[in-house]
């Protein structure tokens, strides 16, 4: 097998499991370093430099975890649905593996968003939970992640499992705009968006910087664990192939 080095680089060649495994192996140390760096910077800004909130006091500092986790829960779902659709449409093995690898991490971020939201809600709203539109739609997102993982695990045939779970992921993607716009469409206890692409932020710059740094840390973490999980899945599926044999020094 030869790798063409002539420009332009054919990106789709990285979809080959052997090349994906090699490339992500090189990226992982950098992703972990970035995650640690951004997390350290974000926590320093959030807990060391950002002032106490005038109305909420110190408890608002949950925002540096809650908002990035909530963003990641939605973005990862869209990524999962995208790769599941690509895997289904083009019968691309690595794309389907990526979708499978994203699901547990997306579910984890959803749990973190719900958990931190509950702990933030008690001192500010007086309750851990209300069935308002934002909280309920985020909870449905967790059910969609769990449903996707259960469906994948329930079907032994890999191709059929990828197809059925892709359908669920794609249909479930309709929930993402519902989560995002829920605070506009309905009268919710949850506050409106503090950060929007169409308007200036409604929070102090130092607080916003802390939140964005923590978001970058979550991005780097998510890329790292998704790549790690995909690499493990590739080894599981391809262990009898020649390239894995060569990689492991098998005769």
The site for another protein (CB under 8 A) is made up of: 47-52, 57-59, 61-62, 65-66, 69, 104-105, 108, 111-112, 115-116, 119-120, 122-123, 221, 225, 228-229, 231-233, 235-236, 239-240, 244-245, 247-250
Gyration radius of the chain's alpha carbons: 20
Tell me how far, at minimum, the Cβ of 236 lies from another protein, in Å: 5
Q: Return d(Cα 208, Cα 50) in angstroms, integer.
A: 9
Report yes or no: 233 and 97 within 8 Å, Cβ to Cβ.
Answer: yes
Nearest to 121 by CA among 186, 179, 183, 56: 56
Please give the Cα distance from 225 to 238 (Å, whole number).
Answer: 20
For another protein, give the closer residue by CB, 63 or 81.
63
How far, in Å, CA of 250 to CA of 245, rounded? 5
Smallest distance from another protein to CB 221, Å:
7
Tokens matching residue 34: 């970035």
Nearest-approach distance from CB 78 to another protein, in angstroms: 20
Please report the sign of the dihedral spanned by the C-alpha atoms of residue 168, residue 174, residue 177, residue 179. Answer: negative
- The least distance separating another protein from the CB of residue 178, rounded to whole angstroms, comes to 25
If the CB atoms of residues 85 and 218 are measured against another protein, the closer one turns out to be 218
Q: How far is the CB of 243 from another protein (least distance, A)?
A: 10
Phi, psi of 53 (to 5 degrees): -70, 140
CA dist 240 → 25, 234, 243 (Å): 20, 11, 9
Residue (62 or 169) nearer to another protein, CB: 62
- Least separation, in Å, of the C-beta of 241 and another protein? 9
């Amino acid at each position: 097998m030869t790798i063409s080095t002539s420009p332009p680089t054919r990106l789709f060649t990285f979809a080959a499991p052997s090349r994906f495994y090699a490339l992500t192996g090189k990226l992982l140390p950098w992703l972990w370093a970035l995650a640690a760096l951004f997390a350290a910077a974000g926590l320093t800004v959030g807990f060391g430099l950002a002032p106490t909130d005038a109305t909420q006091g110190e408890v608002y500092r949950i925002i540096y975890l809650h908002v990035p986790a909530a963003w990641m829960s939605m973005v990862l779902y869209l990524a999962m649905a995208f790769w599941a659709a690509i895997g289904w449409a083009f019968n691309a093995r690595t794309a389907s593996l990526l979708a499978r690898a994203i699901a547990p991490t997306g579910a984890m971020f959803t749990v973190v968003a719900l958990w931190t939201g509950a702990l933030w809600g008690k001192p500010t709203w007086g309750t851990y939970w209300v069935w308002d539109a934002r909280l309920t739609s985020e909870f449905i997102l967790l059910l969609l992640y769990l449903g996707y993982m259960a469906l994948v695990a329930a079907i032994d045939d890999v191709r059929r499992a990828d197809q059925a779970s892709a359908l669920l992921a794609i249909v479930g993607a309709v929930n993402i705009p519902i989560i995002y716009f829920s605070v506009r469409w309905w009268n919710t206890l949850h506050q409106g968006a503090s950060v929007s692409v169409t308007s200036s932020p409604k929070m102090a710059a130092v607080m916003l910087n802390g939140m964005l740094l923590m978001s970058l840390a979550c991005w780097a973490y998510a890329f790292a664990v998704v790549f790690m999980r995909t690499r493990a899945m590739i080894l599981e599926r391809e262990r009898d192939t020649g390239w894995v044999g060569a990689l492991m020094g098998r005769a």
